[in-house]
Amino acid sequence: MGEILIRNADTILTMDDDRRVLKQSDVLIRDGAIVALGQGLESGGEVINGQGCVITPGLVNTHHHLYQNLTRAVPGAQDALLFGWLQRLYPIWSRFGPEEMFVSAQLGLVELALSGCTLSADHLYLYPNGSRLEDTIEAAAEVGLRFQPTRGAMSIGESQGGLPPDHLVEQEKAILEDMIRVVDGFHDASEASMCRVGLAPCSPFSVSRDLMREAALLARDKGVMLHTHLAENDEDIAYSEAQFGCRPGQYAEDLGWTGPDVWHAHCVKLNPVEIDLFARSRTGVAHCPCSNCRLGSGIAPVRQMRDAGVPVGLGVDGSASNDMANLVGEARQALLLQRVSQGADAMSAYEALEIATRGGADVLGRPECGRLSPGKRADVAIWDVSGVASSGSWDPAAMLLAGPSQVRDLLVEGRQVVRDGQVVTLDLPRLLEQHHRLAQALVAGD
């Protein structure tokens, strides 16, 4: 693959173990990994000019539903609470098939790449009309982002007291068989892996207690990670107490859903006992501030989680509940939201960026990503701070206060995905045409 030298960057925010900030420095990349950081590095390979730029590790997105890019800003779901919002969207999603899954995933990953993301998880929990997890895996391979798809599932339909319509849920035996199939077929555990598969029943209110337990056993047997939605809002807590007789943290612990190989989305309503449980067990949290604002769910206690030692990463969540998936914007929202509830000194711009990079990588079990130091994977975001958004900033490295909302260049595993603000791995006008056509067909059939 050869070498790439990023030369003479204004600032490099390494997010390494010492959180070093380097000035006027270079990054040397070889065979997908970072070889050296410092001044005066030399290479016979490609050179990228870093002047006027801040360099960060690629941002990490720990929660998404990429298929939802085809259902943004749907009338009737724009102003609904979580459960009403789901009931408006389920009938539309039930008309999806493999092409919708593939095209929507590509569009979502392109949007993430432009906002600095190099590694994204995805949570796909419905499989209508022959859709399969590999529809999204193939999409990610073409875009060139590192991918952590999870085999989601729903098994409790309306007739059994669940939320989704019966035709969108699957039999639990078939779900477990397909979980085994996709892990065996697509999971790559290597350090340079571009695809790691996880298991992810949708939420405690859409699968049985048995499936939660079986998925946890299977994940441990296969050495893959577990993911679901937890403690998202007050309705969610009330449902848990009424149906299971306990709070979500207790439910998760009882079924084997705590540990460093588990991460839960939202956790807006975790109480101090649950925060302590997550910290002790190293259970991760995907914090989704824009989605929590959009659905009026509340403000997750991220300050308390971080202080207690809970691993926290950021998630944009699906585009139907955060109609815009700009990951660097999500990091800014995370810092603003902590300040709303806890004051102007509750979170710095640097800490929010740390959560968005190494924080997310740790949540996804990828400590070889999310930081720039020799031996780590070459996932690098290059931000031009010579433009309008940063002009006049006394501290351009405090990018979340005044800085660009899109990258100039993005490298994943040492390969260029974005160059001069353009995605270079696929034909974007063609993708937009396909995505627009599929969205129009869904609108017409509504």
From the list 43, 356, 270, the residue with the least C-alpha distance to 27 is 43
CA distance 66 to 251: 27
Residue showing tokens 């979170």: 347
Joined tokens for residue 144:
């060139």
CA distance 390 to 197: 38
Quote the least distance from Cβ 203 to Zn ion, whole Å: 8
CA distance 292 to 159: 29
Quote the least distance from Cβ 23 to Zn ion, whole Å: 39
Q: Which residue is nearest to Zn ion (CB)?
A: 317
Nearer to Zn ion, 227 or 332 (CB): 227
Nearer to Zn ion, 206 or 406 (CB): 206
Nearer to Zn ion, 187 or 227 (CB): 227
Quote the least distance from Cβ 285 to Zn ion, whole Å: 13
Nearer to Zn ion, 27 or 197 (CB): 197
Nearer to Zn ion, 232 or 274 (CB): 232
Quote the least distance from Cβ 41 to Zn ion, whole Å: 41
Residue showing tokens 């005044």: 402
Quote the least distance from Cβ 65 to Zn ion, whole Å: 6
Nearer to Zn ion, 135 or 317 (CB): 317
Quote the least distance from Cβ 315 to Zn ion, whole Å: 7
- Residue 273, phi then psi, degrees to nearest 5: -65, -40
Ranges within 290-329 binding Zn ion (CB under 5 A): 317
Residue showing tokens 């999971």: 187
Quote the least distance from Cβ 191 to Zn ion, whole Å: 28
Nearer to Zn ion, 124 or 335 (CB): 124
Q: Any residues with CB less than 8 A from the CB of 56 and at least 6 apart, and which?
A: 12, 13, 15, 116, 353, 357, 372, 380, 381, 383, 399
Number of amino acids touching Zn ion (CB under 5 A): 1
**Strands in 202-305 per DSSP E:** 226-230, 262-266, 284-287
From the list 1, 2, 60, 8, the residue with the least C-alpha distance to 37 is 8
Q: Which residues pair with 351 in a beta bridge?
A: none
Quote the least distance from Cβ 275 to Zn ion, whole Å: 20
Joined tokens for residue 394:
């006394």
Ranges within 138-177 binding Zn ion (CB under 5 A): none
Nearer to Zn ion, 216 or 325 (CB): 325
The answer to whether residues 380 and 28 touch, using CB atoms and an 8 Å cutoff, is no
Where does this chain bind Zn ion (CB under 5 A)? Answer: 317
